[in-house]
């Protein structure tokens, strides 16, 4: 479960640089940071709109449009925004990682970002096997990365991917 290095063929790149895939533990750290930040945003909003009754044990199901917005629309929107604009969520930024298009090395577009986000469901439903796959995959891709055609790399190492034919 360590990070792998990928050196594209010298003929395909202008400089002799190395792409470093972000490993399993680095990505776990980023996910934990993102989870804490999401909770710091979502829990106060839920409290403001619903009070303490929202957090009662007998509360099941959705509590209307505001609940749907806070728990689903907001996280999806923020995650996709960060991937498209910054190539990373705040947790990935802290951990020095970028999410890039596996073929071009560029930022993700809207479609690829949405596919990657919903690909997390495919990765998590069967006992989180698609997430643990990062630990054994040669290019450190989870199933959501494979579905969306993305890579998570160490920040700055993606420059050489742009000119290589990474598949």
- What is the tens place of the pLDDT at every residue in 36-61? 999 999 999 999 998 887 877 666 67
Reported as a single tens digit per residue, the pLDDT across 70-113 is 999 999 999 999 999 999 999 999 999 999 999 999 999 999 99
pLDDT of residue 52: 83
pTM of the full predicted structure?
Answer: 0.82
More confident residue, 141 or 1: 141
Is residue 167 assigned to a domain? no
pLDDT band, very low/low/confident/very high, at 164 (cuts 50, 70, 90): very low
102, part of any domain: yes
Nearest-angstrom CA–CA distance, 120 and 134: 12
Give the residue numbers spanning the domain of 85: 5-162
Q: How many domains does the chain have?
A: 1
């Amino acid at each position: 479960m360590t990070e792998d290095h990928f050196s594209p063929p010298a003929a395909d790149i202008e400089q002799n640089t190395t792409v470093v895939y972000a490993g399993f533990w680095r990505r776990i750290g980023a996910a934990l940071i993102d989870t804490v930040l999401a909770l710091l945003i979502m829990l106060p909003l839920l409290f403001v709109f619903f009070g303490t009754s929202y957090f009662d044990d007998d509360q099941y199901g959705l509590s209307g449009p505001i609940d749907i917005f806070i728990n689903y629309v907001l996280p999806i929107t923020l995650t996709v925004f960060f991937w498209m604009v910054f190539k990373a969520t705040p947790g990935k930024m802290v951990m020095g990682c970028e999410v890039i298009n596996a073929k071009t090395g560029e930022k993700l577009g809207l479609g690829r970002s949405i596919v990657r986000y919903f690909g997390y469901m495919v990765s998590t439903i069967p006992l989180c096997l698609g997430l643990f796959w990062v630990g054994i995959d040669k290019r450190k891709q989870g199933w959501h990365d494979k579905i969306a055609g993305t890579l998570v790399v160490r920040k700055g190492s993606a420059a050489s991917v742009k000119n290589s034919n990474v598949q």
